A and B are shown apart, each in its own frame.
Chain A
Amino acid sequence: MAKQQANWSPYDNNGGSCVAIAGADYCVIAADTRMSTGYNILTREYSKICKLADKCVMASSGFQADVKALQKQLAARHLIYQHQHNKQMSCPAMAQLLSNTLYYKRFFPYYSFNVLGGLDNEGKGCVFTYDAVGSYEKVGYSSQGSGSTLITPFLDNQLKSPSPLLLPVQDAVTPLVEAEAIDLVKTVFASASERDIYTGDKIEIVVVNATGIRREYMELRKD
């Protein structure tokens, strides 16, 4: 008797791309707003970005139902942290929490490809990039989702950060100024939406800096 196969999958891929870039005193997190399934578009105006704490923002692509569940989990855990410690979670603390939350479901994973961006305890920009089961790394920039294969090489070309294994330890954050980083993000998404069918409609760009969190949008190709 041939091995039984499942006739349904608990997962779906809603597509989309996410990008985050860390600067000396800011962090840019961006994602497109298209939600798809198969070759169809479900909506052109879905936000993949979630504010987890005062200085910590997460963008996730993949299966949005799992993404939503993950965001709710983290929000609830953050409330508990605030009650116990009387302060907001720092970005590195949230990064570890996200990793642990993802690994907790190692054997039925959240189909969620995340980038976490924000300011660390010293006010410097930081970006953390994850796989679906919680393996994570602090980097200077990252991209996840359906357009990541198109976006990452371009970011490597523009921002190449040194390997974290090199000595002496070098800064991963980009020397770019906030406005230049935002411009780079817009360029990168414009290019990705040319060739990736799942990326398009609009970009939602979130900027975290010392003054707070700011949001802006840019139109993209609708096809």
Chain B
Amino acid sequence: MFRNQYDTDVTTWSPAGRLFQVEYAMEAVKQGSAAIGLRSKTHIVLGCVNKANSELSSHQKKIFKVDDHIGVAIAGLTADGRVLSRYMRNECINYGFTYESPLPVGRLVVQLADKAQVCTQRSWKRPYGVGLLVAGLDESGAHLYYNCPSGNYFEYQAFAIGSRSQAAKTYLERKFENFTDASRDDLVKDALMAIRETLQGETLKSSVCTIAVVGVGEPFHILDQGTVQQMIDAFEIVGEQEGPDAAAGQEASAEPEQGAGAGAGEGVAPMDI
């Protein structure tokens, strides 16, 4: 993307019919640390990578509870994300107060999208620089939506946003057909695997990621670090066991190193093989 004479105002079209400020806002989302979401018929899992500015500081909060049945993970300008989360929480509280029933997720994302669109058509505003993965459960089932700064929104079976999200997306594209009927725990494991893809070799520990779950009979909540670490340990072991088996099945020379290599290969991003 290069600077040009049509990118100063959000209300200026380029001759090619593009709004550059909106596109630059989408770039801001790509610069933020990764967030992923995936859903089954009954559960949705959100995960994000915790990136702290320095060793001295704490990491930014990227997953917010909006209501018992809705949660959101953000990537991009976290301040914009916080403000939008506050808006979403307010909408849910007001809807619940008036109708004594939970706000349907589809309604909320439309309201969010319309709010984002306003900022693309006012000369005194700027688009929100944050992408939101909205996970919610309502009468029509489990939903995962992605809301763009452009004001568009899409429903997904699984998605990833932020930096190095392509690695996670590739993993999710390979596995998504199994998600609909997956169990809650398998879904969380897949989320952790997807997060591992974005880490590109860095060790997956519960301190670098945050996981949240919402599902039938399970209000939205962020899993505590202990539980997450246990799940990481559980599937790391499974990964190592599968490694030697796969290696023994494939070739005669089943050296431990090769076994470990095959096990790690499952976790390493596909393009590195």
Contacts and interface: CB of A to CB of B under 8 A. Distances in A.
B97 interface: yes
B97 A72 contact: yes
A83 B89 contact: yes
A76 B90 CA distance: 9
A79 B68 CA distance: 10
Interface string B2-33: 00000000000000000000000000000000
A78 to B, nearest CB: 10
Interface string B140-152: 0000000000000
A80 interface: yes
A72 B93 CA distance: 10
Interface residues of A, number: 5
A80 B86 CA distance: 9
Main secondary structure of the interface of B (DSSP, over half): helix
Contact of A83 (B65, B96, B97): B65
B65 to A, nearest CB: 7
A87 B88 CA distance: 19
Nearest to B66: A83
Nearest to B67: A79
A15 to B, nearest CB: 25
Nearest to A72: B97
Interface in B62-117: 65, 86, 89-90, 93-94, 96-97
A59 B86 CA distance: 31
Interface in A70-129: 72, 76, 79-80, 83
B97 A76 contact: yes
B89 A80 contact: yes
A76 B86 CA distance: 14
Nearest to B96: A76
B63 to A, nearest CB: 13
Nearest to A79: B93
A72 B100 CA distance: 10
A79 B90 CA distance: 10
A76 B93 CA distance: 6
A83 B94 CA distance: 14
Interface in B177-209: none
Interface in A53-79: 72, 76, 79
A89 to B, nearest CB: 15
Interface string A171-213: 0000000000000000000000000000000000000000000
A204 B88 CA distance: 37
B93 A80 contact: yes
Nearest to B98: A72
A79 B96 CA distance: 11
A159 B46 CA distance: 54
Contacts of A80: 89-90, 93
Contacts of A83: 65, 86, 89
Nearest to A75: B97
A125 to B, nearest CB: 29
Nearest to A78: B93
Interface centre among B90, B93, B94, B96 (most CB of A within 10 A): B93
Contacts of B97: 72, 76
A76 B97 CA distance: 7
A161 B96 CA distance: 41
A83 B96 CA distance: 15
Nearest to A77: B93
Interface of A: 72, 76, 79-80, 83
13 contacts: A72-B97, A76-B93, A76-B94, A76-B96, A76-B97, A79-B89, A79-B93, A80-B89, A80-B90, A80-B93, A83-B65, A83-B86, A83-B89
Given A79-B93, A80-B93, A83-B89, 4 more contacts: A76-B93, A76-B94, A80-B90, A83-B65
Give the 3 A-B residue pairs with the shortest CB-CB distance, closest first: A76-B97, A76-B93, A83-B89
